Amino acid sequence: MKEIVCKLLVIGAGPGGYICAIRAGQLGVDTVIVEAGKAGGTCLNIGCIPSKALIHAAEEFDKVRHMSSASDVLGISVEQPKLDLAQTVRWKDGIVGRLNSGVLGLLRKAKVKIVHGPARFRDGKTVEVETETGTQVIRAETVVIATGSEPVELPSLPFGGPVISSTEALSLTTVPKRLVVVGGGYIGLELGTAFAKMGAEVTVVEATPQILPQYDAELVKPVAKRLAELGVQVLTDTKAKGLSGQGDALLIETADGREQSLPADRILVTVGRRPRTEGWGLEELDLDRAGRFIRIDDRCRTSMRGVHAIGDVTGEPMLAHRAMAQGEMVAEIVAGRKRSWDKRSIPAVCFTDPEIVTAGLSPDEARDQGLEVRIGQFPFTANGRAMTTQSEDGFVRVVARADTNLVLGLQAVGAGISELSSAFSLALEMGARLEDIAGTIHAHPTRSEGLQEAALKALGHALHI
């Protein structure tokens, strides 16, 4: 097979990789992208997109179930609904298929050559790919490593049988009667909440004292309240020990040392993700590491000349939009433009019920940096749009410097609040002050008014509380 020579080789067609390749192609860079699976990576195929589809279906089913109750306050009466999860999964797979085809089309439009198969490094400039027609050798001036991440497997709970990862959870065709979720982070709670709404008896096992330990307790409180309303049992300070002898229960150890068993048809393990750094010849490269991750600088360069790395393989936050931004930047650097990584804000969204959005510094993080802060918080119980959609739990919070009113961070928890993430990031990227947000006219009635009211509150003159 004839050797391919190119200017840019991207390994991995996830969000970071395909964006990097598309942008490079747009800029006239001779680009090749290699992918062992489907274009779109974890996020599109077995992560962000399919999980949000499942969450939406569960939410709709739960709404109709409540409407079948004679006590529905909206006065809507329907028959008791039924859920065909196999059809839901087919619908979800259709969306993934459309997006997957769209990514391939965009790559071709940008004149990017796509090579399908697992890649393995020979050296820092050369890889070999095992394609369906044989071994393809590719040589490149610049290489971008965008291999992503994979679920962490617990030694005591290896994947297989009743023990599943998020990948298998998104392909179940029947709702498990009893689901135990090991790990109370955002992946576990997003999927656990969805299955609870579909009728499963859900128990969450979290080793730390709080679910969603990466968020402050005030943001987590409305989520915990909703879990209780859905009948989800939450066990914190509790360790998963392994399967019972019959394989039909999870053995756990509580904070006081007591051992119990939790009957389960399925055990969903969501204890984090790790960089995908094995199986593609990384040992052939002399790359510095930052713990398990590949160390990079502010231009996503590794310790080897001509080798860049982007996305999950480079560390936290493991978010698709971070990978996309890095991929675009690297493509422009390869094309000769001057770029560097200087992001004030990478928003994070937890698609629980209610949703959580954070951008920038929390109050505690700001204080830990020695900053004196002003904090403004506006509850959705005082927001007309929240009232008319029966979703008043939650709030918007703004954190600003006390001396200059420069906005340092924005947080919110509430129904549909993920759509405010762009406003939060824009305010931080543009260097907004409290007066800028307070002086911006926000449409009424919308949830976004909570952002303006939080800024007004921080300035000392909130209008609706």
Structure confidence at residue 77 (pLDDT): 80
Structure confidence at residue 79 (pLDDT): 85
Structure confidence at residue 387 (pLDDT): 95
Average pLDDT over residues 346-370: 97
Structural tokens at position 260:
């119990």
Selection from 171, 166, 193 nearest residue 89 by Cα: 171
Structure confidence at residue 70 (pLDDT): 61
- Which string of b and e fits 117-143 if b means at least 16 CB within 10 Å? bbbbbeebbbbbbeeeeeebebbbebb
How sure is the predictor about 246, in pLDDT bands with cuts at 50, 70 and 90? confident
Selection from 460, 417, 418, 421 nearest residue 438 by Cα: 460
Tell me: pLDDT of 352 over 80: yes
Do the domains 4-56+85-150+274-334 and 348-459 sit in the same CATH topology, yes or no?
no
Written out in words, the top-level CATH class of the domain with range 348-459 is: alpha beta
The CATH superfamily label for domain 4-56+85-150+274-334 reads FAD/NAD(P)-binding domain (3.50.50.60)
So which residues are the catalytic ones?
444
Structure confidence at residue 245 (pLDDT): 82
pLDDT digits (tens, 9 = 90+) for 63-98: 998 887 766 677 888 888 999 999 999 999 999 999
Selection from 327, 357, 353 nearest residue 428 by Cα: 357
pLDDT digits (tens, 9 = 90+) for 207-218: 999 999 999 999
Written out in words, the top-level CATH class of the domain with range 163-271 is: alpha beta
Query: Looking at 14-28, 173-187, 197-211, 283-297, which range is the least confident one?
Result: 283-297
Are residues 308 and 302 in contact, defined by beta-carbon separation less than 8 angstroms?
yes
Domain boundaries, the chain: 4-56+85-150+274-334, 163-271, 348-459
Structure confidence at residue 71 (pLDDT): 65
Are residues 192 and 222 in contact, defined by beta-carbon separation less than 8 angstroms?
no
Residue 449, Ramachandran bin (φ over 0: left; ψ between -120 and 50: alpha; else beta): alpha
pLDDT digits (tens, 9 = 90+) for 365-390: 999 999 999 999 999 999 999 999 99
Are residues 141 and 125 in contact, defined by beta-carbon separation less than 8 angstroms?
yes
DSSP symbols for 144-199: EE---EEEPPBTTB-SBTTEE-HHHHTT-SS--SEEEEE--SHHHHHHHHHHHHTT
- Beta partners for residue 289, in sequence order: 294
Structure confidence at residue 75 (pLDDT): 81
Residue of 76 and 336 predicted with greater confidence: 336
* Distance between start and end Cα atoms, the chain: 71
- Look over the chain and give the mean of its residue pLDDT values, rounded to a whole number: 95
Cβ-based burial of 269 (10 A; exposed 0-12, middle 13-18, buried ≥19):
buried
Structure confidence at residue 344 (pLDDT): 84
Tell me: pLDDT of 238 over 90: yes
In the chain, the percentage of residues whose pLDDT exceeds 70 is: 99
Average pLDDT over residues 159-186: 96
